[in-house]
DNA sequence: TGTGTAGGCCAACAAGCGTTGACATCCACC
DNA sequence: GGTGGATGTCAACGCTTGTTGGCCTACACA
């Protein structure tokens, strides 16, 4: 964001800051907000707990800094309307397999109101606009987006958090084959009525 | 379970025990495992924290006693195969609106490994058998049940825990109209292939 | 009526938590 | 070469947590 405007201060402590954020993401993802302790994060980053406080103020500040999520959703304009469901599923699967920030936010969003608020923000700032562009009647967009997010978050929940064995074992291709038509229907099919 | 066999000891403390369990369910549902403190539960039940320990040993024992879930799924035999999707959605919606034990378990299942194990047990002991009866090829039952549970738990997550406004606002009838065909497809439609 | 036991409360413990402030150490700049 | 701010360490704080043991009370049974 400030890479072109500000010439990057390049502090000497950047490595430490990054180590803290990396450790924080990992602990938050594995343990959730409450059980992820500052002490454990500091130990994993091989620094003193007080450094965390110096650089991020408090635990909430650390969480805010560690969990910044950009879903990198595709541009709705370049998205073929009939292919939106398929594109969404594969995109989410890739994002989720790659990094554990999403799992961290999911875990924290459930125990911590700040985390829940963050997830609501991501929903309305990133997913909703895309759905508004794709779906037929913009007025129905919120409901349709809610259905889509329900299914995708539920998949992440059973697969990466609760680890239902059948959900964890499913091959990404098979998930895509099942979910793509569903999401496509939620996005573009006519309202089924009452 | 022991109402007909054992003649019910009828201890004088039964009222207290029940007050503790009621309070525990409520606190676990609202706060999750870590933030639901024994002290808060005891205060809500208007007894001393030490009573909780006496009757349930420790916090894990209390949780185990408080969160016993019977989904009360319909008998697969009496379930018209073409109506299974619709029946499942309405059943889950009713269960979830009625009592907060399900929300409690969902919250706890995410932060606590004991809770997650409990949810896996419910999945395989209660949902899976039903799906095995309904779906065409029993070998596909685990995957199909995983898809169903993903969607239903995702709905509960966005509606009751994260409280995405559009998900919370959706009328049960509308949810049913959207989800019933999806679940029906997951249960009985031919495998979409890779 | 006396007594044993279950029910209940109170105070305290050890441990872990987030957080703080004082003190060393290092590097950049005048 | 000396100085000042950034970087890092250490010890401790106040608080909350789960958990424990001692003590009082009241009821059931003899």
Q: Do B153 and A154 touch (CB under 8 A)?
A: yes
Nearby residues of B24 by Cβ (< 8 Å), 6 or more positions away: B36, B41, B45, B62, B63, B65, B66
A171 shares a domain with A99: yes
Same domain? A57 vs A122? no
Residue A33 within a domain:
yes
Alpha carbons A23 and B40: distance in angstroms, whole number: 32
Kindly report, residue by residue over A34-82, the tens digit of the pLDDT: 999 999 999 999 999 999 999 999 999 999 999 989 999 998 888 888 9
With bands split at pLDDT 50, 70 and 90, how would you rate the model's confidence at A13?
confident
Number of structural domains found in chain B: 2
- The residue that leads in pLDDT, A74 or A4, is A74
What is the pLDDT, as a whole number, of residue B1?
Answer: 41
Q: How far apart are CA A109 and CA A151, in angstroms?
A: 17
* Radius of gyration (C-alpha) of chain A in whole angstroms: 19
For residue B68, what pLDDT band results from cuts at 50, 70 and 90?
Answer: confident
CA–CA dist A87, A91 (Å, integer): 6
B51 and B85 in a common domain: no
Q: What is the mean pLDDT of chain B?
A: 92
DSSP track, B99-120? -SHHHHHHHHHHH-HHHHHHHH
CA neighbor of B105 nearest in space, from B133, B126, B129, B134:
B126
Instruction: Report how far residue A154's alpha carbon sits from residue A78's, in angstroms, rounded to the nearest whole number.
Output: 27
Nucleotides in chain C near protein beta carbons (<7 Å): 6-12, 16-22, 27-28
Same-domain status, B179 and B117: yes
What is the rounded distance in angstroms from the CA atom of residue B105 to the CA atom of residue B119?
7
Q: What is the pLDDT of residue B146?
A: 98
Q: Using alpha carbons only, give the angle B151, B92, A110 rounded to the nearest 5 degrees.
A: 60
Contact B173, A193 (CB under 8 A): no
- A149-158, B72-81, B84-93: least confidently modelled range: B72-81
CA B59 centroid distance within chain: 20
Residue B162 lies in a domain: yes
Q: Is there a domain that residue A5 lies in?
A: no
Instruction: Convert the pLDDT of each residue in B82-127 to its tens digit.
Output: 999 999 999 999 999 988 899 999 999 888 888 999 999 999 999 9
pLDDT digits (tens, 9 = 90+) for A100-151: 899 999 999 988 888 999 999 999 999 999 999 999 999 999 999 999 999 9
A125 with A184, same domain: the answer is: yes
Query: Which of B69, B77, B64, B71 lies closest to B33 in space, CA to CA?
Result: B64
- B98 and B41 in one domain? no
Contact A147 B178 (CB under 8 A): yes
Q: What is the pLDDT of residue B12?
A: 81
Q: Which residue is nearest to nucleotide C20 (CA to C1')?
A: A50
- Residue A8 domain-assigned (yes or no): no
- If one compares B109 and B184, the residue with the highest pLDDT of the two is B184
Chain centroid offset of residue B26 CA: 14
Q: Which residues constitute the domain of residue B33?
A: 14-66
Question: Which CATH number goes with the domain that contains A35?
Answer: 1.10.10.60
Note the pLDDT of residue B175.
Answer: 98
List chain B residues with CB under 8 Å of A31: 111
Q: Are residues A47 and A99 in the same domain?
A: no
Residue B193 or A96, more confident:
A96
Do residue A112 and residue A163 come from a single domain? yes
B62 and B105 share one domain: no
Q: Which among B152, B162, B179 has CB closest to A119?
A: B162
Closest CA to A151 of B130, B174, B180, B150: B150
Any atom of strand C under 7 A from CB of A53?
Answer: yes
């Amino acid at each position: 964001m400030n890479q072109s405007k500000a010439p990057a201060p390049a502090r000497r402590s950047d490595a430490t800051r990054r180590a803290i954020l990396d450790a924080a993401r990992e602990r938050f993802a594995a343990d959730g907000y409450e059980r992820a302790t500052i002490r454990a994060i500091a130990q994993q980053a091989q620094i003193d707990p007080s450094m965390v406080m110096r650089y991020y103020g408090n635990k909430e500040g650390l969480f805010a800094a560690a969990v910044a999520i950009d879903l990198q959703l595709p541009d709705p304009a370049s998205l073929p309307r009939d292919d939106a469901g398929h594109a969404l599923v594969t995109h989410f699967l890739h994002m989720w397999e790659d990094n554990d920030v999403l799992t961290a936010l999911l875990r924290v969003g459930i125990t911590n109101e700040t985390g829940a608020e963050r997830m609501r923000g991501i929903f309305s700032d990133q997913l909703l606009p895309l759905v508004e562009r794709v779906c037929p009647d913009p007025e129905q967009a919120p409901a349709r987006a809610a259905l889509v997010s329900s299914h995708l978050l539920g998949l992440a929940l059973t697969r990466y958090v609760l680890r239902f064995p059948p959900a964890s074992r499913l091959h990404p291709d098979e998930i895509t084959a099942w979910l793509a038509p569903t999401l496509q229907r939620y996005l573009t099919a006519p309202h089924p009525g009452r």
